[in-house]
Amino acid sequence: MNSNSPRASSKGIILILAFMLINLYGCRQLEIKKTGTADVSLYKKYESYFSVGAAVAPKHLSSVADILEFHFNRLAAENDMKFGPIHPAAGRYSFSNADAIANFARNNSMTMTGHTFVWHRQQPSWLFSGLSPGNTRDIETLKNQLKNHIETLVNRYDDVVDNWDVVNEAISDTGGKTYRDGSEGSEWYRIFQSEEYIYWAFKYSQDALAAKGSNAKLYYNDYNVTVPSKLNKILSMVQWLRSRGLRIDGIGLQGHWKLDWPTLSDIRSAINKISTAGLEVKISELDISIYTNDDWSTHAWEAEKAFTEQLETQQAVRYRELFMLFKANSGRITSVTFWGVSDDATWLDYHPKRRNDYPLLFDDRHKPKLAYYAITDF
């Protein structure tokens, strides 16, 4: 149907009215007072549905230690388990940051998400240097490095990591192209000259876990998973891996979302589709930006704005709707992890440009925001 047709526009008006009503209802329900204290433990609140995590850097283990201990039963290393940070030179690992996070998790009976073995960003330059695209010997060299890397991390953290992001963001957003290739920044694709590296990442992970007798799960993690064309590509990759005898347990929806995007119905459909394909779902990097007017095609970014009461309420309503949806789908969702703890330390302050954002449950001074009450008080 043409989107300018009368039926399409009346459908649009109905959708807008429905959205307004939901918001109004949400605001009513949100006659919740900010008491200033956060007495309800987030992870206990959702314990019978899914685990609740936070991505951290070592500094958080002291700056927000109390919040972490009281509210979360899962951690992810925001950066410190990625290839570059943890394996900065051939044969040399730098474990101290990841160990600090893993020890905090161990000491507090938390589990961890292992993030991530293979990504096109934050990888060390040594890994690809001197390798020629498509050269069989060079591909073998890269495969051996990958195998060693995966085995080393699995052996060191298997007691605390219950699921690994084996591959992160390997699917292209470009129409007509399934896999991110060299032109979209993937050195892995460029050297292999194909998506075959994804096969090896899952193969080595599966083998390393089997050798350890581990029950840890193997995930593929990405953004824009709610976009149907991207999800179709992800599911075709899953089929391809399975057709080659490999196991993949679940898909991570990163959840870098906005106040008005994606729609609840798009999130619900993605969860349904993934679980119908026999896969677990996790929400792996949740944060809700207050900026809704960025134009990615022209790189026209919305100007910095203040975090008004109205925005705080809107964000709280959004968080509540999301957690109601997660709860309703709890049989399919294994974990929900926030990409940070408090608004003073969020990657969104630097992305897509330097600009203060307020995407998390705790404010710049580590006090609970309305969003915290919205998801603990219903």
Q: Applying CB under 6 A, which residues contact ligand 9MR?
A: 78-79, 121-122, 168, 254, 285, 347
Measured from the CB atom, is 206 or 221 closer to ligand 9MR? 221
Cβ-closest residue to ligand 9MR?
Answer: 347
Query: What are the E-state strand segments in 226-266?
Result: 250-253, 256-258
Q: Least CB distance from residue 359 to ligand 9MR, whole Å? A: 11
Measured from the CB atom, is 9 or 122 closer to ligand 9MR? 122
Measured distance CA(299)–CA(57) in Å, rounded: 29
Measured distance CA(322)–CA(376) in Å, rounded: 12
Q: Least CB distance from residue 78 to ligand 9MR, whole Å? A: 5
Q: Least CB distance from residue 122 to ligand 9MR, whole Å? A: 5
Cα torsion through 309, 310, 313, 319, rounded to 10:
-120
Residues 140 and 193: beta-carbon distance below 8 Å: no
Clarify whether 285 is annotated catalytic. yes
Measured from the CB atom, is 187 or 320 closer to ligand 9MR? 187
Q: Least CB distance from residue 256 to ligand 9MR, whole Å? A: 7
Measured distance CA(98)–CA(122) in Å, rounded: 15
Q: Least CB distance from residue 5 to ligand 9MR, whole Å? A: 38
Cα torsion through 224, 171, 102, 209, rounded to 10:
130
Cα torsion through 37, 43, 46, 52, rounded to 10:
120
**SS3 of 287, please?**
strand
Measured distance CA(114)–CA(178) in Å, rounded: 25
Measured from the CB atom, is 307 or 347 closer to ligand 9MR? 347
Measured from the CB atom, is 87 or 320 closer to ligand 9MR? 87
Among 78, 187, 280, 285, which one carries the catalytic annotation?
A: 285
Measured from the CB atom, is 339 or 373 closer to ligand 9MR? 339
Measured distance CA(266)–CA(288) in Å, rounded: 16
Instruction: Identify the CA nearest to 277 among candidates 254, 257, 249.
Output: 249
Extract long-range pairs of 63-69: CB within 8 Å, 24+ residues apart. Answer: 63/345, 63/366, 64/341, 64/342, 64/362, 64/366, 65/104, 67/38, 67/341, 67/342, 67/362, 67/366, 68/104, 68/108, 68/341, 69/108
Clarify whether 140 is annotated catalytic. no
Q: Least CB distance from residue 355 to ligand 9MR, whole Å? A: 15
Q: Which residues on neighbouring strands pair with residue 114, listed in sequence order? A: 164
> Which residues, including other chains, have CB under 8 Å from residue 121's CB and lie 6 or more apart?
82, 169, 185
Residues 240 and 178: beta-carbon distance below 8 Å: no
Q: Least CB distance from residue 65 to ligand 9MR, whole Å? A: 20
Measured from the CB atom, is 110 or 348 closer to ligand 9MR? 348
CB atoms closer than 10 angstroms to residue 215: 9
What positions carry a catalytic annotation?
Answer: 169, 285
